Amino acid sequence: MITISLCMIVKNEEQVLDRCLNSVKALVDEVIIVDTGSTDNTKAVAAKYTDRIFHFDWIDDFSAARNVSFSYAACDYILWLDADDWLQERDVQKFKRLKETLDPKVDSVCMDYYVAFDTLGQPTSVYKRNRLVKRARNFQWIDPVHESIEVNGEVLLSDIAVCHGRTHAGTGRNLRIYEGLLERGAVLSGRQLFQYATELTTNGNLEKAIAAYQTIIDDPTAYFELKLECCDRMAHCHRELGRKEQELHALLMTFSCDVPRADYVCRIAYYFQENGDYEKAVNWYQLAIKLEKPEKRLLGVNQMAWTWFPHLQLAACYGKLGRLKEAYAHNETALSYAPNDPNLLNNKKLLKAALKNTKTIGKQA
């Protein structure tokens, strides 16, 4: 069986670090913590799990800190996590089986990353991350912010999921790092430009963000899923600016990057739904529920669009059109994904009453 080093970089994470470490303590053989300048009780929390706690002088470079954390590892494989990450029990059990059975020829295990959740705790936004890497390959982190690890060789795609619950509010730090790079004459890669655009969006610089997203979309060498993300986020920017037609145009551009995906088809449907054009909305939502979710994907997937959301909205649209049987049927399908959702249960009650009333009126007529 393989051995695993957990390597983390932390700063002022006393509120969440215990949850993270407690969730994986049965999976790892050593815990390495690199602290980048905590002023709270982070190191005391870490000391409950390990004595391998190191200091790193912060230099506005996340990759540098992560590479240092990896340098202290001694086990066969390295697992990396952020302090506000954790594993749910079902994924802990999956991870245990992976550890017992992993072929040592595998260089990296790519796992799901749940970064957003609905009100019922179900993941709504899912990415893939190279999460467990072979130490002997000496893979390196790149990019000073929104860093990534460059891997090659044999990569195993796993359905093990790491959950993320962001705790630090945006401070503008990441945007300052990117702008510092640009001031020093750096040329951003496509991935860096995307992350820079994301930081511009977060900080309200929407026009500059749109221009950056468009640059990536126009690049014939850009990865198609990155282009999809750019179209999606450009649509968000236009929406924030009150430009609904441009929002729709950005969403339609996804069709030039890949086959239709429910993520974007549902947003197109919602555009027509908001405009009161329920017939068009129904057609787009019907398309969404017929699509097959891509299996081999690396960037984000909106889980809602592939499960309950189009059915919920079809129930609403059919209700507006007076087609109550179809509205009821789709509400039932949505309930199959979220059987305890109070809104769906209330919809069911209202639709039942409406259908009963319609039958009564029909008999009287």
Question: Are residues 120 and 178 located together in one domain of the fold?
Answer: no
Question: Are residues 65 and 213 located together in one domain of the fold?
Answer: no
Residue 125 is predicted with a pLDDT of: 86
Q: Residue 162's beta-bridge partner residues? A: 113
Domain that holds residue 220: 170-258
Question: Are residues 311 and 182 located together in one domain of the fold?
Answer: no
> What tokens does 223 get?
């990865």
Residue type, 265: V
Please answer whether residues 53 and 45 qualify as being in contact, where contact means their C-beta atoms are separated by less than 8 angstroms. no
Question: Are residues 151 and 288 located together in one domain of the fold?
Answer: no
Residue type, 347: N
DSSP state letters, 249-293: HHHHGGGGTSS--HHHHHHHHHHHHHTT-HHHHHHHHHHHHHSPP
Q: What is the mean pLDDT of residues 110-121?
A: 87
Residue type, 108: S
Residue 227 is predicted with a pLDDT of: 95
Residue 364 is predicted with a pLDDT of: 46
Residue 168 is predicted with a pLDDT of: 63
Q: Which of 114, 137, 164 is the last residue of a domain?
A: 164
Q: Is 214's pLDDT higher than 50?
A: yes
Non-local (6+) Cβ contacts of 54 within 8 A are 32, 33, 34, 35, 68, 69, 72
In whole angstroms, what is the distance from residue 281 CA to residue 313 CA? 9
In whole angstroms, what is the distance from residue 337 CA to residue 309 CA? 10
Q: What is the mean pLDDT of residues 176-181?
A: 92
Q: Which of 164, 179, 205 is the last residue of a domain?
A: 164
Q: What is the mean pLDDT of residues 342-355?
A: 92
Chain-centroid distance, C-alpha 223: 18
CATH code at position 100: 3.90.550.10
Residue 26 is predicted with a pLDDT of: 97
Please report how the helices 342-364 and 309-320 are oriented relative to each other, as an axis angle in degrees rounded to 10: 30
Question: Are residues 139 and 282 located together in one domain of the fold?
Answer: no
CATH code at position 358: 1.25.40.10
Number of domains in the chain: 3
Coil, strand or helix at 90: helix
Per-residue confidence at 173, pLDDT binned at 50, 70, 90? confident
In whole angstroms, what is the distance from residue 261 CA to residue 287 CA? 9
> What tokens does 65 get?
């800190």
- Identify the weakest region by mean pLDDT among 103-112, 118-127, 270-279: 118-127
Question: Are residues 95 and 201 located together in one domain of the fold?
Answer: no
Residue 74 is predicted with a pLDDT of: 98
In whole angstroms, what is the distance from residue 54 CA to residue 102 CA? 30
Question: Are residues 135 and 183 located together in one domain of the fold?
Answer: no
Residue 365 is predicted with a pLDDT of: 45
Question: Are residues 208 and 270 located together in one domain of the fold?
Answer: no
Per-residue confidence at 46, pLDDT binned at 50, 70, 90? very high
Question: Are residues 113 and 226 located together in one domain of the fold?
Answer: no
pLDDT tens readout for residues 313-340 = 999 999 999 999 999 999 999 999 989 8
Q: Which of 229, 258, 287 is the last residue of a domain?
A: 258
Q: Tell me which residue of 136, 21, 146 sits closest to 85, measured CA to CA.
A: 21
Q: Is 23's pLDDT higher than 50?
A: yes
Question: Are residues 206 and 240 located together in one domain of the fold?
Answer: yes
Question: Are residues 139 and 73 located together in one domain of the fold?
Answer: yes
Question: Are residues 61 and 197 located together in one domain of the fold?
Answer: no
